[in-house]
Structure 1
Amino acid sequence: MSKTVKLYVVRHGETYLNRYHKLQGWADSPLTEEGKAVAKRTGERLSHIAFDRVYTSDLGRTIETAELILKQNKHSDPLELCRLPQFREVFFGSFEGDHVDRIVKQVAAQHGYQYETSREVFEHHSMSEVLAFMKQADPEADAEDADELQARINQGIEQLLLDVNGQAAAVLLVTHGVVIRQLLDRYTEHPEHQGEVKNASVSVLEFAGDQANVLVFNSLSGPLD
């Protein structure tokens, strides 16, 4: 019988494109000073946990965040980062780098919805619907939809669980906001697990085999087991 795997999922710290409210999928930008500081605080909250493995996406902002977190860890064994492109953020296609409000309102309007802000769009439509709007509106047809994103996230989780090889483990995964949203949506429909995933927040899933329960969602303060 397989043992449980506790997966600590952290969104990267604030980047400059986050600060400027720009779409940042496969595009990348470094952490702001505030982003670094919050990542360090998250590392302090996780400093008592002896991680067996550490995963990131292959984008610099998750790697930088993971390195800052591990520098705070009290356990001396150095851990190599496993960088998996399957955990890369959703690709926004030709909309990469554009202002979030402008593009999200624009793609919603093409489907007959009129909103003043991107927040209003997300209040009325799921992430899957918004990604579908963007894919249909992308003139280059390169933007990913939710099914494409979920398929590669599933591949990443399968690889992670294969690496653990049925052993009990504590695993750190530093990834991206939409990826975390999709990952949690796979394992829960609880309304309290909805909403924006905050920079450097921690969510915790406990796996038994390929099934998982969400133990913590989007936490920026308080103790973590």
Structure 2
Amino acid sequence: METKFDLYLIRHGETYLNRYKKMQGWADSPLTEEGKAVAIETGKRLADVQFDRVYTSDSGRTVETAELILQQNNDNHNLVINRRKAFRESFFGSFEGEYSEVAFRKIAEDNACSSTKELFQKHTLEDVMNFIKKSDPFHHAENYYELWGRIEKGLNEIVSTSQNLNENILLVTHGVIIRNIISKFSKEFDKGIEIKNSSVSVLEYSSNIFKVISFNQ
């Protein structure tokens, strides 16, 4: 029997570190009140989608967002939330907690770019991930190989544990994770675009491939 499902990729709601425009990878902070409200609105938009499985990263901000979304759902109030490190945000090393503008200014300058925009225009997403590790003074940040290795492990788990045709699967995760997943399966994707908090992207899995149906809605 062919495995087929729709994967709803949702970024977590706005957190305090998001609000203050600071790097937030493995660091975690609570959702703001506005972040909670927008997550609830996303839940209402998806209220009639019958989810069969739910995954999040192991960060509190994704779990809280998933709970708020599921509370609005008409069918799925008792689903188990499967927390997976595979879907944790990219680790930014010593840039964790730094102002994003400061961190990316250094990363851009280290690679002969005048701005973050130019950095993403001139280089692939894979290159940028590798540059982050290189620019981190401790070189503890994840590079592309390390990051995609665990994302792929998580996606493989979702695929391999599929039991029914036409499942709807909810995955609440992070901006960089979504950016990498979408970029992997769509050539039309603008890798520099901001992934909005509580935005929804949908991928269809069939014939052993993922296809992007909608993005950042």
Which range, TM-score by smaller chain?
over 0.9
Name the CA distance, whole Å, in 1 between partners of 2:73 and 2:11.
Answer: 17
Structure 1 residues 5 and 73, CA, compared in 2 at 3 Å: closer, same or farther? same
Deviations 1:56-96 (A, max 9, x none): 00000000000000000011551010001000000001110
Query: Residue 170 and residue 80 in structure 1: after superposition, are their counterparts in 2 closer, same or farther (change >3 A)?
Result: same
Cα deviations by residue, 1:73-132 (Å, 9 ceiling, x for unpaired): 0115510100010000000011100011111111221222223xx345334444322221
Distance 1:25 1:78, change over 3 A: same
Name the % identity.
47
2:15–2:35 contact (8 Å) kept in structure 1: yes
Q: TM-score when scaled to structure 1?
A: 0.91
Output aligned runs, 1:1-40, within 5 Å: 1-40=1-40
Amino acid at match of 1:195: I
Contact 2:5/2:168 (CA < 8 Å) preserved in 1? Answer: yes
Structure 1 residue corresponding to 2:125, chosen from 127, 145, 167: 127
Q: With structure 2 as the length reference, what TM-score do the two structures score? A: 0.94
Alignment correspondent of 1:223: none
Q: Which residue of 1 is the match for residue 216 of structure 2?
A: 218
Alignment CA distance shift 1:152-1:209 (3 Å): farther
> Which residue number corresponds to residue 94 of structure 1?
94
Q: How many angstroms apart in 2 are the aligned matches of 1:21 and 1:10?
A: 20
Gaps of 5+ in 2: none
Q: Distance in 1 between matches of 2:164 and 2:54?
A: 16
The worse-fitting range, judged by mean Cα deviation, of 155-164 and 37-46 is 155-164
Aligned residues: 217
User: Could you tell me which residue of structure 1 aligns to residue 198 of structure 2?
Assistant: 200
**CA 1:13 to 1:139, structure 2 compared with 1: closer, same or farther past 3 Å?**
same
Q: How do 1:124-203 residues align onto structure 2 when only pairs under 5 Å count? A: 124-165=122-163, 167-191=165-189, 195-203=193-201
Q: Deviations over 1:138-159 (max 9, x none)?
A: 1222101122111111100001
Unpaired runs of 5+ in structure 1?
Answer: 220-225
Contact 2:70–2:77 (CA under 8 A) maintained in structure 1: no
- Alignment check: 8 A CA contact 2:43 2:73 kept: yes
The alignment yields a C-alpha RMSD, in angstroms, of: 1.7
Secondary structure of 1:212's match? strand
Shift of 1:191: 3.9
- CA, structure 1 residues 29+77, in 2 after alignment: closer, same or farther (shift >3 Å)? closer
CA contact (8 A) 2:3 2:162 kept: no
Query: Matched residues in 1 for 2:46 and 2:199: separation?
Result: 11
- After TM superposition, the structure 1 stretch with the greater mean CA deviation from structure 2, 187-196 or 7-16, is 187-196
Question: 8 Å contact 1:92–1:144 — kept in the other structure?
Answer: yes
Cα contact 2:3–2:207 (8 A) shared by 1: yes
Assess if the C-alpha contact under 8 Å between 1:105 and 1:121 holds in 2.
Answer: no
Q: Does 1:54 align with 2:54?
A: yes
